[in-house]
Amino acid sequence: MILPSGLVSAVTGAVVALAVGLMAPDAPRGGGGADRAAPVPVSHEKSHPREDPPPKPPTKKKRDSAQLPEREERSGELVVLGRLDDVDRALPVVDAIGGRVLRSSALGGLKLAMVVIDPGSYSSRADLRARFARAGIDVATDSASEYRTAAQGRDYAQGLIGLPVPRSCPLSREVRVGVIDGPTDLEDLRDAGIAVESQTVLGQGAEPAETDHATAIIKLIAASRPGENEGVAPGVMVYAANAFAREGDATVMKLENMIKALDWLVLRRVELVNLSFAGPSNAVMARAIEATARQGIILVAATGNDGAPVVAYPAADPHVISVTAVDARKRLYRSANTGDEVDFAAPGVDLTVPGDPSGRYRSGTSFAAAIVSGVVARELARGPASREAIEATLARRAEDLGAPGHDGEFGWGLIRAGGC
């Protein structure tokens, strides 16, 4: 059993095209739905003045997947991700256990191939992984997980992170920012002065989610109407990947769609990706995130809104900047997940969104992640830098909250933009 010839040729062609492009000179635990609870004081409200810069942020520890509880998946589908030759070699193993390929994708941007399989009556992921390992097949295999937006405002965010209010503070150069979320209201975004290109990765027949969440996230990052409430990084170019669909009363993103969205953003040569969603740890997603980070792309994600002592995925991944939320008084959002993987805190409680005529207040780590994505875009506009270098800069600049130094509630503390 081998990959369809169309997939083989598509992957090969896409990888060659990408390689040529790179040589050119220009180159949730589940995050739940809306959070409605009001913020409450926490034990560490007081800011601690920092006399010396903190050490370089520690390498984020990757949790054993057994430590991160997973929701029961509604189907028995598994996702297999790896290099084309490894995925091709994995398919006879799938065939031998009585499984079948449901869908396949060529991921030229990530230089990987992906298949979604029905393992039939064979239910042991661990044993299937062991079979692949014994055969020397280097693929990631995991459940076809689903992820949910990490969301639930007052106009205080820019002042809290040190940007001038209300004076415009545009970037010194255009930065290419990717956003993986639901569909967007493109007319509304363009009215807000945002340059945006969108692409759906949903399968045929999928019902798109509402536009509200994704549109708000992008506005917080990029709204650009001088004299009005602006985003943190006006002047970025946004690439919006629509990966969320409605299933009954829920809005969810399938793992395979998240990976297709990452692949599209890599091909669009983005420098930064905002991931305002949360869910269970997943080996296949980890492989895709690693492939994205290996190309120098910075990823920012929300810690999740379960109030749990564990950071949700993908924020818990060591290649991702993990963001929690605080209110206008610098108190931790009561529903925010906590854990050693938290990197920074940002405004994310009772926020107003630039240009939102409804005047709604928004709360959630989703929105805090968007604020940090804007700050990271500002750093990238000052010159190319690695995730590690940007994290170290932001850690030195952060306002320490809670216990002195890095802690599991606020990370290095409240993010600071460093002015225009």
The tens digit of pLDDT for each residue in 229-251 reads 789 999 999 999 999 999 888 89
Is the pLDDT reported for residue 345 higher than 90?
Answer: yes
User: CA–CA distance from 408 to each of 31, 44, 48, 206 (Å)?
Assistant: 18, 12, 16, 38
Q: Calculate mean pLDDT across residues 189-197.
A: 93
> What amino acid is encoded at 38 in this protein?
A
Is the pLDDT reported for residue 11 higher than 70?
Answer: no
Tokens 């169309």 locate to 6
List the beta bridge partners of residue 112.
107
Is the pLDDT reported for residue 126 higher than 50?
Answer: yes
For residue 274, give the H/E element and its range.
strand 272-275
Task: Sketch out the chain's domains with CATH numbers.
Answer: 5-25+72-144 (3.30.70), 147-397 (3.40.50.200)
Q: What is the mean pLDDT of the chain?
A: 82
DSSP state of 147: E
Is the pLDDT reported for residue 220 higher than 90?
Answer: yes
Is the pLDDT reported for residue 140 higher than 70?
Answer: yes
Residue 287 to residue 37: CA distance in whole angstroms: 35
> pLDDT tens digit string along 348-362?
999 988 877 677 789
User: Which pLDDT belongs to residue 44?
Assistant: 30
Q: Calculate mean pLDDT across residues 26-32.
A: 34
How sure is the predictor about 169, in pLDDT bands with cuts at 50, 70 and 90? confident
> pLDDT tens digit string along 359-404?
778 999 999 999 999 999 999 999 889 999 999 999 999 999 999 9
Contact 324, 332 (CB under 8 A): yes
Residue 325 to residue 414: CA distance in whole angstroms: 9
User: CA–CA distance from 47 to each of 13, 51, 229, 230 (Å)?
Assistant: 54, 13, 27, 27
Is the pLDDT reported for residue 418 higher than 90?
Answer: no
User: Which pLDDT belongs to residue 321?
Assistant: 98
> pLDDT tens digit string along 68-94?
444 434 458 999 999 999 999 999 999
Is the pLDDT reported for residue 406 higher than 90?
Answer: yes
How sure is the predictor about 57, in pLDDT bands with cuts at 50, 70 and 90? low
How sure is the predictor about 166, in pLDDT bands with cuts at 50, 70 and 90? low
Contact 228, 155 (CB under 8 A): no
How sure is the predictor about 252, in pLDDT bands with cuts at 50, 70 and 90? very high
Which one is predicted more confidently, 404 or 65? 404
- DSSP conformation letters of 301-329: EE--SS--SSPPBTTTSTTEEEEEEE-TT
Lowest mean pLDDT among 5-9, 133-137, 200-204, 294-298: 5-9
pTM of the predicted model over 0.95: no
